[in-house]
Amino acid sequence: MVKRPVKYSQVDAFTDTAFKGNPAAVCLLEKEEEQDEKWMQAVAAEFNISETCFLTPISSTQSDANDHSVTRFHLRWFTPLVEVKLCGHGTLASAHFLFAYRIARTDVIEFVTLSGVLIAKRIPTASNVDASKFSDGDPEEHFSIELDFPTIPVLECESADIPSLPETLNGAPMVNISKTAEAGGGDLYVELSSGKTVADLKPQLDEIRKCPARGLIVTGPAPDGSGFDFFSRFFSPKMGINEDPVCGSVHCALVTYWSKKLGKCDLVAYMASPRGGVLELHLDETNQRVLIRGKAVTVMEGSLLA
């Protein structure tokens, strides 16, 4: 049990508007030995939002291969039910917390995670904002964050292999079905006929629980003139999240799918959940990496006392 107060902040990720995007609670621990899994899972259940993140500093600032100063933290992510291996919005929220409160005094953070080392870079978005005017107690919000994540390969999948899909999707017209080859079943990726169909979809959550996958991603081409390339939504009731409002990690697979389909490596994605969120994506085909850029906003702060 943690006996000293633990600072936390709740951050809405992939949005610049409070109460939109995807909420994540970010908890800052002082020592690695405080990372008790049962306690962290209990805290995540208490917050009961799509992700709760736990940060532990590794060392003081050091230099990367390009001689840039970086700060390193251990990072773990928990849904209300389970620990996950990769989380985009939780990483964005954690980086935002560290940058906004100037806990990280560099523009680059390395997170050591279950998926290896993930990099977050601070990208200023308002050059006329003087950060020195903010006191140490107030978060500074005027920047974007770029995440460097691995791509996730997708495999073709036949609808006959998942006979319950038409019922799961309430008869929505399917264009293509893919899946990720990951431990625990991976995710199903279903392209629907249009982004509007994605936004309007009301799937059968009980049927999703029966699917041979961690979760179900539905996606479709964005409407003309929307400013986006594709829409998506992510449903994962097995993990205690009926719908993840904005999921960064599923775009590690979506970017390879839509890049090939649209013939370009720079895309803008919209997650069409009721909260909504925007992700700017760049596919590095040579290194099989995806750069995910987004904004975030702090909506709550406090201390855990138990």
User: DSSP string of 97-117?
Assistant: HHHHTTSS-SSEEEEEETTEE
On the question of pLDDT at 131 being above 60, the answer is no
pLDDT digits (tens, 9 = 90+) for 36-58: 899 999 999 999 999 999 999 99
For the stretch 15-27, pLDDT in tens is: 999 999 999 999 9
What pLDDT is recorded for position 142? Answer: 85
Note the pLDDT of residue 157. 86
Residues assigned a catalytic role: 51
- pLDDT exceeds 60 at position 9: yes
Question: Rounded to whole angstroms, how far apart are CA atoms 295 and 143?
Answer: 7
Task: Report residue 31's pLDDT band, with 50, 70 and 90 as the boundaries.
Answer: confident
The mean pLDDT of the chain is 91
Q: Do domains 6-150+293-304 and 154-285 have the same CATH topology?
A: yes
| Assigned fold of 154-285 | Diaminopimelate Epimerase; Chain A, domain 1 (3.10.310)
Say what the pLDDT of residue 68 is: 64
Report how far residue 205's alpha carbon sits from residue 146's, in angstroms, rounded to the nearest whole number: 32
The whole-angstrom separation of Cα 84 and Cα 240 is: 12
**Which CATH topology does 6-150+293-304 take?**
Diaminopimelate Epimerase; Chain A, domain 1 (3.10.310)
Where are the domains positioned within the chain?
6-150+293-304, 154-285
Q: Is 48 left (phi over 0), alpha (psi -120 to 50) or beta?
A: left
